[in-house]
Amino acid sequence: MPRPRLTGRLFTAVLSLTLLTAATAPATAAQGPPRAGRDPAGRCALPGRTGYTDEGHDTDPVQFRRPLGTLRLAMVFVDFPDAPATGPTGDVAAQLLPGANWLRDASYGKVRLAVTPARSWVRMPKPSTAYGFERGLSHEQHERYVRDAVTAADPYTDFSRYDMVYVVPPRNAPAISFSPAYLFDPAASGVVADGTRIKWAVTFGQDMWRWGPRLVGHETAHLFGLPDLYAFDGSDVHRYVGGWDVMGLVSGAAPHYSGWHAWKLGWLDDDQVACRATPGTDTVRLTPVEYRGGGTKAAVVRTSPTTAYVVESRRAVAADARACSTGVLVYRVDSATPTGHGPVRVQDARPDATPPAGCGQLDDAAYRAGQSFTDPASGVRVDVLDSRDGSDTVRITRR
């Protein structure tokens, strides 16, 4: 989970986008009769309003790494005076390296991580307990940890060759408990090595042994601009999306990135998104988001300057092979809601049903043929008309 930090540049960008969006808000039902034909996909792209990781499509190209093509990563291994490593780096690397393949497949091959693991451990200058790895870790504390790791590894690593850095501790360093993503502050001096600014890093912690390689997909996606979909507060931290999308429950039964996230990150083209931003009705044949190739992957109904409903088809294949339900997933997106506070909320097709064994309450949320979702407040209705030939046909309506 990244630590929020609103810089002056980001604040200015957010303010500018707020003013621009206010002037170009989509039409509402009171502004005219339903129009024929789909709206251009861009009419359904939402602006970010939080100044950090969020569901907006206008991801800051300076603050975040563009998630396309081959990205070169240095994986450095650090131990501590109070927690010296007791085994080879290869054993630890094996816990994470398969995550590069997972991300490649989940991005339809649009992102390839070329990870170069170091062959030996380097010693950090401070005990592991001195770095303050607790929830609430500040950006300054985290940056000191990244700086110490880069400085320790610099004699053996040419950081000018890499786009991002992974920092990995030994298993016997419990004080390095979790795995936050590091995003540089453009207004500060930051971390520099070999004449290169270290802008993006993930510092893995002991939770890597719980979450496994998928943690690479979760934390690296923060560097691309995606927010956390689990809740930062309350006893039910997975009440918003359950096991749908790796940005929620990393070990979820259906962790493939949502169609909305794939579109936001540039992994889906605009012609793969059916947009309804004005009053009207569309019938859309949806190809499951897990499948590579063409086809319409998402139908989006915009409901306000910062909100929309997204409709997509999900199947128990690829990353979602253990999905607890299949069919049509409906969720609400709000680009003004901060990370960890429910920017995405899955709508449950069977809220009163008991989910299958081993599945959470929202994991059986997919709608099936003959079922409908309605939101009278926004005038949105989704009817699942048919499910056949590996796809779903839906009718989306905005009044």
Q: Which residues contact 373 (CB under 8 A, 6 or more apart)?
A: 330, 347, 349, 367, 380, 381, 382
Kindly state the average pLDDT of the residues 347-370: 95
Closest by CA position to 298, among listed 274, 318, 320 = 274
Element (H, E) at 345: strand 344-346
pLDDT 10s digits, 19-66: 233 333 333 333 333 444 789 999 999 999 999 999 999 999 999 999
CB 329 within 8 A of CB 314: yes
CB 96 within 8 A of CB 208: yes
pTM for the whole structure: 0.90
Could you tell me which residues are beta bridge partners of residue 392? 286, 387
Residue percentage of the chain with pLDDT more than 90: 89
pLDDT 10s digits, 226-246: 999 999 998 899 999 999 999
